[in-house]
């Protein structure tokens, strides 16, 4: 709350983002009202459903502030996570050219040089195993946070209301007692028989969270990642540049601290 340099900058950025989003939302709302917009994007669907719910009454449906928050959530939850998954995948496949080659063979087998289609993307087995293994070793969200809303007992421990709990999913993803001695190694083969058979515990892999708040975009994210990775594999082989330094670190999400310097070679 203090007017420090950082806080002032944060507030200015927040104001700017809200102004831009208000503009986008207003434009879309006007277009929907004038029957000029198709609601084939998420914002269009949200606004249209909200207008039907509210039915002209201001106190029903979501407010503009709510919609702004949804836009921010979807942008943050959907962009960085999926792009960092792709970044780690390119890094790891550069470190393991034998898996890069297997993935390329699979992609070329299904699509040749043509544009990957939805139907066949869901048939990619090696690529899926690779993405799972990357999500296991480098989960974009390294922990889940929860707060007890009432006194409760969890795992034999009693907590009062209002306790912040952190579930460090990265530690569970790297635990040799759960994944075996090679827990720290990149081995997509462990997912050959599906997620529930990959570890000693069927729920040990949860890069998208779990329960009622599980990631709403998980299927979309995997589809996007498969599409992007297949398109890259079709056109390029890649390796790490000597300037790459392997330093996973977290600023909200797990990312390579010094960037991902990768050399692409057209094939």
Q: Which residues are annotated as a binding site?
A: 215
Query: How is residue 116 annotated by DSSP?
Result: P
Catalytic residue among 186, 206, 208, 238: 208
Q: Which tokens hold the place of 120?
A: 């066949």
The contact pattern for ligand HEM, residues 46-75, with x = CB under 6 A and - = no contact, is: ---------------------------xx-
Q: Which stretch binds ligand HEM (CB under 6 A): 30-38, 100-108, 111-119, 204-212?
A: 204-212
Annotated binding site for heme: 215
Neighbouring residues of 134: CB distance < 8 A, sequence distance ≥ 6: 85, 88, 89, 92, 186
Distance CA 106, CA 136 (A): 22
- By CB under 6 A, residue 31 contacts ligand HEM: no
Contact with ligand HEM (CB under 6 A) among 54, 62, 77, 240: 77
- By CB under 6 A, residue 89 contacts ligand HEM: no
Cβ–Cβ contacts within 10 Å for residue 138, how many?
24
- By CB under 6 A, residue 228 contacts ligand HEM: no
Active site residue 4: no
Three-class DSSP category at 4:
coil
Min CB(140)–ligand HEM separation in Å: 4
Distance CA 93, CA 99 (A): 6
Distance CA 199, CA 204 (A): 7
> In DSSP terms, which residues pair with 240 in a beta bridge?
262
Using the minimum distance from each CB to ligand HEM, give the nearer residue, 42 or 108.
42
Min CB(138)–ligand HEM separation in Å: 10
Active site residue 1: no
Active site residue 208: yes
**Closest CB to ligand HEM: residue number:** 217
> In DSSP terms, which residues pair with 144 in a beta bridge?
167
Q: Is 161 left (phi over 0), alpha (psi -120 to 50) or beta?
A: beta
* Interface positions with ligand HEM (CB under 6 A): 73-74, 77-78, 81-82, 85, 140-141, 144, 207-209, 213, 215-217, 220-221
Q: Which residues are catalytic?
A: 81, 208, 215
């Amino acid at each position: 709350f203090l007017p420090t340099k950082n806080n002032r900058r944060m507030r200015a950025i927040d104001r700017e983002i809200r102004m831009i989003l208000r503009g986008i939302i207003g434009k879309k709302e006007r277009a929907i009202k004038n029957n000029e917009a198709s609601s084939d994007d998420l914002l269009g669907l949200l606004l249209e459903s909200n207008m039907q719910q509210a039915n002209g009454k201001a106190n029903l449906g979501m407010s503009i502030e709510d919609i702004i928050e949804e836009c921010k959530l979807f942008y943050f939850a959907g962009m960085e996570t999926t792009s960092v998954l792709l970044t780690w995948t390119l890094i790891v496949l550069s470190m393991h050219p034998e898996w890069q080659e297997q993935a390329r063979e699979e992609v070329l087998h299904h699509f040749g040089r043509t544009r990957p289609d939805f139907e066949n993307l869901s048939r990619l087995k090696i690529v899926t195993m690779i993405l799972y293994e990357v999500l296991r070793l480098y989960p974009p969200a390294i922990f889940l946070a929860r707060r007890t809303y009432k006194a409760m007992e969890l795992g034999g421990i009693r907590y009062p209301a209002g306790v912040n709990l952190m579930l460090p999913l990265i530690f569970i993803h790297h635990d040799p007692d759960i994944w075996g001695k090679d827990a720290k190694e990149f081995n997509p083969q462990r997912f050959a028989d599906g997620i529930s058979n990959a570890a000693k515990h069927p729920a040990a892999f949860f890069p998208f969270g779990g329960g009622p708040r599980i990631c709403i975009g998980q299927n979309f994210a995997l589809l996007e990642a498969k599409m992007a990775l297949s398109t890259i594999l079709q056109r390029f082989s890649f390796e790490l540049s000597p300037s790459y330094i392997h330093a996973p670190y977290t600023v909200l999400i797990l990312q390579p601290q010094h960037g991902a310097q990768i050399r692409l070679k057209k094939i």
